[in-house]
Amino acid sequence: MTSEALTSKSNQNVNTLARKMAIALVAGLLIGVLLLFLRENLIANGHQSTWDIINSLFFQDISTEEGRNAIGLFYIIGQLFINCLQLIIVPMIFSSIALAMCEISDTKKLGRISGKTLLGFLTTSIVALIVAIICGFITYHLGFFNVSIAGSGATEVASSSNPLMVILDAVPNNIGTVMTTNSRVLSIVFLGVVVGLCINQLGDKILVLKNILNDINNIIVEFLNFVIFKFGPIAVFVLITRTFAVYGIEHLKPAFAYLATVTIAATICLIFSYPLFIYFNTKLNPITFMKKMGKVVLLAVSAASSAAALSLNLKTAEEELGVSEDVASFVLPLGMTINMNGTAIMQVVGSIFIAASSGYEVTLPNMLVIAALALMASVGTPSAPGSSMIVLFTVISGMGYNNEATLIAYALIIAINRPMDMYTTALNVIGDAATAVVVSHSENTLDTDVYNS
């Protein structure tokens, strides 16, 4: 089979996957909304036990005490898919970055790529924070955050730490602990860069390890293709459906102002910031970029995790957006760890909501401090569902918001934040890919024919 035929077949498979994922998303939304209303109707009419049976059979988290005797079919399927994607995070990041460093013979090129990547991340993050501050400031002054938070008590909260600890955590003191957890991505990036550069310098003296890394990379690609193409659409349907079934109306009614403000700020960034970022830096059609990123966004939204979408993001960037392998394998794993645009928006708006509803004064200087804390705290945060709540607690602790009403408001955001966690994850993965495109274009390694195909 000719290379043209192989390329055509690959594009056809990708388009088929995108259609299947889109269908799965729509079906999941429809079935999920129906289940949400079924749940509310059963509970309102005194049939709580009927819903408990349905929940136990399909949606219950079987890892909890409540799910000890449940089946949780949808939970199992969704979690198996996410586990498969998370299974390859450490070897994929390590091998891809190490191999990329092996191919970079010019150390000045590495310095350029690093500098451009960090500048791209900083640019998109600052824009996202500015949008969040403006939206939060307007909502606050319109009085929508002036709500009375009532509750029986505070929730258990995550412990906070100095955001600058990310600098120390980036350089591990034990390679074993880093390789056995998905939460030390920045450390894995560091190890991959170091090993790759050392292999590069040693040249022909190191052949076996380089071949092993290539073999690992090939195995990962094969495994990824199987998981994504065979189970991706099913997983999207299951994850979306379960989200609506588990989180009922009682979790969506409170703090609607918070949900609406985050949605508006995130949508502004999604529609304007990233397309303009790509257009001004590359002069390429940003609509093409957004279309090709569709399936990556669907996966990220479904799993509420940019880590779960990293493998597909790498594949899409290289095969559909024309990003060179060395740029994609460096920018995207790094971005998954430190480029949290959507998360930063949530922290700013969430902190303003908590402050306003807990009786603290909210001023523009306070918002700027919140934005700075959110930017620092989000760096190095694990790219997993719910990790944004750890960042939020770090921010409100840093601001000194610590009365009882604060903890109740924090608990309220935890209860309703799942839809926002899903939506803002889309911004994180799009921001990573957009930066990869811009950096690759600036290095003259972007295949514009592939991008425009």
Residue with tokens 């999941």, as numbered in its chain: 28
Regarding pTM above 0.95, the answer is no
Q: How many CA atoms lie within 13 A of 354 on its CB side?
A: 31
Burial status of residue 150 (CB atoms within 10 A of its CB: 0-12, 13-18, 19 or more) = exposed
> At 276, is the secondary structure helix, strand, or coil?
helix
pLDDT for 217 beyond 60: yes
Q: Which of 17-31, 347-361, 374-388, 391-405 shows the lowest mean pLDDT across its residues?
A: 374-388
Number of neighbouring beta carbons within 10 Å of residue 55: 22
pLDDT score, position 278:
92
CB 80 within 8 A of CB 63: no
Tens digit of each residue's pLDDT (9 = 90 or more) over 244-284 = 777 655 545 556 778 888 889 989 988 898 889 999 998 99
Q: How far apart are CA 344 and CA 241, in angstroms?
A: 27
State the average pLDDT over residues 65-72: 84
Longest CA–CA span in the chain (Å) reads: 74
Q: What is the mean pLDDT of the chain?
A: 78
Burial status of residue 148 (CB atoms within 10 A of its CB: 0-12, 13-18, 19 or more) = exposed
Size (the chain), residues: 453
pLDDT score, position 403:
72
Q: How far apart are CA 261 and CA 248, in angstroms?
A: 20
Residue 294 Cα distances to 115, 289, 433, 450, angstroms: 28, 9, 12, 17
∠ CA 287-312-128 to the nearest 5 degrees?
55
Name the residue with higher pLDDT: 230 or 265.
Answer: 265
Name the residue with higher pLDDT: 104 or 324.
Answer: 324
Tens digit of each residue's pLDDT (9 = 90 or more) over 396-438 = 777 777 776 676 677 667 656 667 777 888 888 898 999 999 9
Q: Which of 222-226, 248-252, 438-442 has the highest mean pLDDT?
A: 438-442
Closest CA to 405 of 353, 343, 346: 353
In this prediction, residue 13 has a pLDDT band, given cuts at 50, 70 and 90, of low
pLDDT score, position 164:
62
Provide the token pair at 80: 């198996």
Q: Which of 42-46, 91-95, 102-106, 217-221 shows the lowest mean pLDDT across its residues?
A: 102-106
Q: How far apart are CA 289 and CA 274, in angstroms?
A: 10
Provide the token pair at 42: 């059963």
> At 384, is the secondary structure helix, strand, or coil?
coil
Q: Which of 94-98, 228-232, 434-438 has the highest mean pLDDT?
A: 434-438
Q: First vs last Cα of the chain: how many Å apart?
A: 20
CB 124 within 8 A of CB 340: no
pLDDT score, position 321:
92
State the average pLDDT over residues 338-354: 83
pLDDT score, position 350:
86
pLDDT score, position 103:
65
Closest CA to 308 of 247, 385, 243, 242: 385
Residue with tokens 């450490």, as numbered in its chain: 90
